[in-house]
Amino acid sequence: MHVWVVGASSGIGEATARALARQGALVSVSARSEAALQALVNEGQGRIQSFPLDVTDAAAVREAAQSLQRRGPLDLMVYCAGHYRAMRADAMDLIDMERHLDINYRGALNVLDAVLPAMLARGSGHISLISSVAGFRGLPKSLAYGPTKAALTNLAENLYIDLQPRGLGVSVVHPGFVQTPLTAQNDFQMPALITPDQAAAAMIEDWARGLFDIHYPKRFTRWMKLLRVLPYRLYFPVVRRFTGL
């Protein structure tokens, strides 16, 4: 199996690349940090190869996709690239909001544009987009991050509708709190915090089960799914009560 993990320099992407390589997959990894990717290559015993890139550079993404597919057809693309900074409306930063959009959403479009034609031509392959429970509904301090993850979830739903009948797999992943450089900036206690290795294991298990909606840890994400269906007259007071914001 040949897997491309985009956003593999740290966190969930790094742990997933390492776990897949241990299971015998041929893993191509991409991110901006060449040093972080090289560390993965050094651990990979020949199963991991590095293709550094910036996901906002569509030409670089296309070039990397062409290069890595010389290793063999791509069976799975995992989009883990992400940017996060807590933000509220009284301190709106347009430049940083656009950075969230460029990395979290437009970057995924660049990668999809680069890999989908070959997958469609073969009639096989799997696309997995890493969204977040922050994309379910509006949350405090998620002014910039949440909307981009909501867009990614909606994108995955549309991809499934179009691609599943064509023989391609699609999944969207909604992690709760995972111990990564992104969540390290949070100044509050994160419920049900798990490690990147635990996140990778849960994700790989659910890929094997063929699930579209992958979420973990379930002791937390099931509550977030429940909040997703509350009417606004209940939802907003509940969020304020439990966050204090």
pLDDT at 222: 93
pLDDT at 202: 95
3-class DSSP string for 112-164: HHHHHHHHHHHCCCEEEEECCHHHCCCCCCECCHHHHHHHHHHHHHHHHHHHH
- The sign of the torsion formed by the CA atoms of 81, 72, 197, 212 equals positive
Residues facing 28 on adjacent strands: 4, 49
Q: How far apart are CA 183 and CA 26, in angstroms?
A: 29
Contact indicator for 168, 127 with CB cutoff of 8 Å? yes
The answer to whether residue 145 is catalytic is yes
Contact indicator for 18, 82 with CB cutoff of 8 Å? no
pLDDT at 27: 97
- Structure tokens, 63: 């070039």
Domain ranges of the chain: 2-243
Q: How far apart are CA 21 and CA 163, in angstroms?
A: 27
pLDDT at 235: 94
Which residue out of 145, 160, 216, 235 is catalytically annotated? 145
Contact indicator for 130, 148 with CB cutoff of 8 Å? no
Contact indicator for 11, 178 with CB cutoff of 8 Å? yes
Q: Is residue 2 helix, strand or coil?
A: strand
Residues of the chain with pLDDT under 70: 187, 245
pLDDT at 245: 67
- Tell me which DSSP letter residue 104 carries: I
- The sign of the torsion formed by the CA atoms of 120, 124, 129, 133 equals positive
Query: 2-243 — its CATH code?
Result: 3.40.50.720
pLDDT at 193: 83
E strand residue ranges, 160-225: 169-175, 213-216
pLDDT at 107: 98
